[in-house]
Amino acid sequence: MAQEFRLPDIGEGLTEAEIVRWLVPEGQPVEADQPVVEVETDKAVVEIPSPYRGIVLRHGGAEGETISVGSVLVVIGDASEMEAAVDPGSITDPGASAAEPAPNAEDEAPVASVAPIVGSLSEDAEVLSGRSDRAPGSEADAVKALPIVRKLARELGVDLAGIKGSGSDGRVTREDVMAAASPPEPALKSRPEPETAPEDATPTSSPTPAAVVADERRPMTRLRRTIAANMARSWAEIPHVTTFDEVDATRLLEIRAALSVRHEMKVPIEALVVKAVIPALLAFPELNSTLDGDELVVHAAHDVGIAVDAPDGLLVAVIKDAAGLGVLELATEVRRLGDGAKTRTLAPDELTGQTFTVSNIGAVGGGHGTPIIPYGTTAILSVGRAKEQVTVVGGELAIAPVMPLSLSYDHRVIDGAHGRRFMSMVIENLEEPALFLAG
């Protein structure tokens, strides 16, 4: 008997996910616990395993389509149920609880009785594709287009009925929609032929009209929309204060080089910065807290987030229990999380739950900045690239690598003097690593 597998809540607060790639096509066998589909949540791309063994009878949505938690993700059953599963007459919107009969059901042969089956990826399903801003039966409903293309058309205000599809069987493609959304270049008005000028007249040149370049509309990715929403919420609700400072990074860089040579591994600067920050968080726990209404939740764990410049956008990977790790363990974890964030292979719980954040903008050549506090925390430290500058050492001028620091904190929780004392301890630790390496 066919089994419906509905999209589970695979992350805290997940309400929907976008189907990235089907790993098992319709009509193919799947084993229990075998990954069947790849979906993208607000931050992560994860594989979802099948809870059943059998034949994939129906996909609950096309690649690129967004479905909500609780909607049918995939239907799995016996090979004998495949014909009923692909019957266009049973097509309904994803998430429906039962199939509806086709308009001419009386002309169709009866099908086997199976558990409720929804969705379809057949050619006819594209013609009958679900949601539309037009009334049922309109010309746009008869146009062949994938759901993701229909969604793009709605966002750009493009009428699918007026587009001649360039895809197979006249299917409208994404490129067709983008071309229809771009206004054509205005034609130049024809001018009458000028009368013949007298021989002694001075010739004049007419200006050449400049080419009109159309604006490009780019739909934001799910990750980009999530980043935008989180940043806007944080900036709107948290009164930010940012304090700037600099640190002589001579000893820090010497220690980093020595550790890298001794252990034959590259030690990321983030590993040392996180290790230097932990004693300051222990001394000033308000910077490792969450403001919950009128109460401050001081976290016992020190789960430090590290900002990662991933190809798809900024992600914060979380080092769990950073206070319990040594420098080399931190170095390994920073590299693992950084690689996983860039390839979108981290689990959802590795991208949430930070209690403090370190952002190394020096990795992309940055100096001072005004980092935005991740919502649900009270502070973030930004570290810039160390550059050689003239400084005073022992009362004499010297050249030393100077590293910019920027600390943003929630002024509802942390006063300026408190933030200043926290920064002073971090600077002391960074300038003399023995202070935190001995702990």
* The two three-digit tokens of residue 142, written as one number: 């008869």
Find, among 286, 247, 278, 236, the residue nearest to 409 by Cα: 286
Catalytic residue among 240, 299, 368, 411: 411
* The two three-digit tokens of residue 317, written as one number: 């990977």
Angle at 257 between CA 256 and CA 258, to 5 degrees: 90
* Cα distances (angstroms) measured from residue 306 to each of 180, 246, 358, 429: 42, 20, 5, 19
Cα gap 430→295, rounded to integer Å: 32
The label of the residue with tokens 């604006």 reads 215
Interior/surface letters 400-410, b for 16+ CB within 10 angstroms, e for the rest? bbbbbbbbbbb
Question: What DSSP string runs through 373-427?
Answer: PPTT-SEEEEE---EEEEEEETTEEEEEEEEEEEEEEETTT--HHHHHHHHHHHH
Beta sheet of 3-6, edge-to-edge order: 3-6, 72-77, 54-59, 29-30
CB < 8 Å & 24+ apart, contacts of 87-91: 87/111, 88/120, 88/122, 88/124, 88/125, 88/128, 90/117, 90/120, 91/119, 91/120, 91/124, 91/125, 91/128
Cα gap 91→86, rounded to integer Å: 8
Cα gap 119→74, rounded to integer Å: 9
The question of whether 263 is a catalytic residue gets the answer no
* H or E segment and range at residue 258: helix 250-263
Residue 18 identity (one-letter amino acid): E
Residues annotated as catalytic are 411
